[in-house]
């Protein structure tokens, strides 16, 4: 920022960046700008300092030459604002600077002026920081009438209304300063936008879906205006803000890890998304860094398309995954049918499977087959057909019954892939999942779990939406590789039509 002569003690010469990632975030002018880092990484400090930087990024007013900015700090409750956000903010800007108005549990304003050295010239800035809580207000009602330059979202990963806040907040940002305080033609567009800081999010939350999966909940691509900066984990050699943390404890993160549960270590120290305290993941060897592809996985025209299905029983919450077993032995999961809300009939499921399989991308595959739970062969009491026969008719694809639905073999079929590497290429995992499989990824990361009850882990997984998509994913490897493969014996050729292979044929 240059050497300032600050009014009341805003001395930014003492400001040092926590590290290169925090620096990039603090200086970033993207309209939607987020930083994700471990506890103690210096995220909140960088966010607070941006309040003054936003004023610096405005043009001088033609009326009085002052650069003006108004920042609204959006908190979920006033208790959170006063207990956590304001104490962090006032470590950067003392409350004695300028004027502070507000009483505990109510809105608060901090208004101050400063002089900054900008490009060798002393420039006056006026900053208004408004601490506001959404509480139970509708987001549109919360932002109605607000005129501000930018907004700050502390602990953005915990905000369930994130998408609405980003949408409505972006609509109101840039409405201050007034037109009379703006030059007729600015050389550079003054900054307007929203920024926020977060710990690694819970998988499946709005923050995770928007900034990690790069997909909106509606399925459309996230805006290109979004920018996210991810700090190294606290136990990484490149961990940030260590100069300050070592003053607190030379072994800051090691001491913290000794007090945390495993699922908290992953998020709060190692800075990796997790599934929190729901329970113990059914597939604990899944690793989103290793097993989720960082780009779209292409179709192999020489391999069959395997559609693994869990019919969802009476709950009408089926799940289906589309995968290929490559010549190398690697399983690539490419697409899914995941019922995030509501229900889906077997006819709708079959139609969706047909639609995907016949699309230009998947039609390139050598062939297609559906693998289902053998229980699907039981005839429905309402019709003369079984679920497997009905699915084959609706999808127009041959159905194979898995050799067993024994959980030991089903889960073992998938777990073996998570632990394995492609022969001759130890860097390539035996399973790779396309980022399009959002429900499967969320389920494997902990949505499909053994729940904790009274401090004990239940013996059976929770039956929920994630259980169906994850159990569907288990049937493909179990059916195609065969049970023997997962007991360390011979893998039979795919679709060889051996005597132990059960096919469903319509009458």
Residues 370, 396: Cα–Cα separation, whole Å: 10
Question: Does residue 207 lie in a domain region?
Answer: yes
Q: What is the DSSP letter of 442?
A: H
pLDDT at 4 over 60: no
Last residue of a domain, one of 217, 244, 271: 244
User: E-strand spans in 167-276?
Assistant: 193-198, 226-230
Please report the pLDDT score of residue 496 as a whole number: 37
Question: Does residue 275 lie in a domain region?
Answer: no
Question: What confidence category does residue 279 fall into, taking pLDDT thresholds of 50, 70 and 90?
Answer: confident
Range with the poorest average pLDDT among 28-37, 41-50, 90-99:
90-99
Q: Assess whether 325 and 194 both reside in one domain.
A: no
* Structural domain harbouring 499: 290-504
CATH number at residue 21: 3.40.50.300
Q: Assess whether 38 and 118 both reside in one domain.
A: yes
Question: Does residue 300 lie in a domain region?
Answer: yes
Q: How many CB atoms lie within 10 A of CB 257?
A: 17
Question: Does residue 285 lie in a domain region?
Answer: no
Q: Assess whether 323 and 423 both reside in one domain.
A: yes
Please report the pLDDT score of residue 323 as a whole number: 97
Q: Assess whether 354 and 498 both reside in one domain.
A: yes
C-alpha separations of 70 from 56, 131, 192, 308, 366 in Å: 12, 11, 10, 53, 60
Question: Does residue 483 lie in a domain region?
Answer: yes
Q: Assess whether 23 and 111 both reside in one domain.
A: yes
pLDDT at 112 over 60: yes
Question: Does residue 332 lie in a domain region?
Answer: yes
494 contacts: CB under 8 Å, gap ≥ 6: 304, 325, 480
Query: How does the average pLDDT of the chain come out, rounded?
Result: 86
Residues 71, 47: Cα–Cα separation, whole Å: 11
Last residue of a domain, one of 244, 275, 309: 244
Q: Assess whether 43 and 153 both reside in one domain.
A: yes
> Across residues 257-285, what is the average pLDDT?
83
Question: Does residue 6 lie in a domain region?
Answer: no
> Across residues 61-73, what is the average pLDDT?
95
Q: Assess whether 341 and 477 both reside in one domain.
A: yes
**Cα angle vertex 189, ends 187, 191, to 5°?**
140
Q: Assess whether 428 and 486 both reside in one domain.
A: yes
Q: Assess whether 107 and 204 both reside in one domain.
A: yes
Question: Does residue 276 lie in a domain region?
Answer: no
Residue pLDDT, tens place only, 177-222: 998 988 887 667 889 999 999 999 987 788 988 888 664 333 445 5
Q: Assess whether 230 and 320 both reside in one domain.
A: no
Count up the domains in the chain and report the number: 2
CATH number at residue 360: 3.30.420.280
Q: Residue 364: in which H helix or E strand, if any?
A: none
């Amino acid at each position: 920022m240059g050497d300032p002569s600050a009014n009341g003690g805003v001395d930014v010469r003492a400001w040092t960046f926590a590290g290169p990632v925090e620096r990039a975030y603090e200086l970033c002018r993207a309209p939607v700008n987020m930083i994700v880092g471990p506890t103690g990484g210096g995220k909140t400090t960088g966010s607070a300092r941006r309040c003054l930087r936003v004023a610096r990024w405005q043009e001088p007013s033609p009326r009085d030459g002052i650069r003006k900015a108004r920042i609204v700090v959006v908190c979920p409750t006033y208790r959170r604002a006063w207990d956590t956000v304001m104490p962090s903010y006032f470590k950067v800007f003392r409350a004695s600077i300028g004027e502070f108005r507000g009483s505990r549990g109510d809105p608060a304003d901090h208004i101050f002026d400063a002089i900054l050295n900008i490009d060798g010239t002393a420039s006056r800035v006026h900053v208004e920081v408004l601490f506001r809580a959404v509480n139970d207000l509708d987001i549109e009602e919360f932002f109605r009438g607000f005129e501000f330059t930018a907004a700050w979202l502390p602990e953005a990963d915990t905000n369930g209304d994130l998408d609405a806040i980003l949408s409505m907040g972006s609509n109101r940002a840039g409405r201050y300063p007034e037109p009379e305080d703006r030059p007729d033609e600015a050389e550079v567009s003054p900054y307007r936008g929203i920024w926020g800081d977060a710990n690694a999010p819970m998988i499946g939350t709005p923050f995770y879906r928007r900034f990690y999966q790069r997909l909106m909940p509606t399925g459309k691509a996230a805006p290109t205006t979004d920018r996210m900066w991810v700090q190294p984990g606290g136990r990484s050699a490149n961990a940030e803000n260590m100069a300050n943390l070592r003053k607190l404890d030379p072994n800051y993160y090691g001491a913290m890890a000794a007090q945390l549960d495993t699922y908290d270590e992953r998020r709060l120290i190692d800075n990796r998304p997790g599934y929190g305290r729901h329970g113990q993941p059914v597939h604990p060897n899944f690793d989103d860094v290793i097993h989720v592809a960082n780009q779209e996985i292409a179709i192999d025209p020489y391999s069959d398309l395997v559609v693994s299905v869990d019919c969802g029983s009476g709950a009408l919450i089926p799940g289906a995954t589309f995968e290929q077993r490559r010549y190398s032995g690697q399983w690539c999961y490419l697409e899914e049918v995941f019922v995030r809300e509501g229900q889906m009939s077997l006819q709708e499921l079959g139609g969706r499977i047909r639609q995907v399989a016949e699309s230009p991308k998947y039609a390139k595959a050598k062939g297609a087959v559906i693998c289902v739970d053998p229980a699907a062969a039981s005839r429905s009491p309402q019709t003369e057909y079984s679920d497997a026969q009905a699915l084959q008719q609706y999808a127009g694809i041959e159905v194979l019954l898995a050799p067993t639905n024994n959980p030991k073999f089903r889960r073992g079929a998938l777990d073996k892939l998570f632990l394995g590497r492609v022969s001759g290429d130890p860097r390539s995992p035996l399973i790779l999942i396309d980022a399009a499989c959002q429900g499967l990824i969320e389920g494997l990361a902990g949505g499909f779990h053994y729940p904790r009850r009274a401090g004990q882990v239940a013996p059976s997984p929770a039956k929920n939406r994630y259980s169906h998509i994850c159990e569907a994913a288990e049937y493909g490897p179990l059916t195609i590789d065969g049970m023997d493969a997962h007991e360390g014996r011979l893998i039979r050729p795919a679709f060889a039509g051996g005597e132990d292979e059960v096919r469903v044929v319509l009458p």
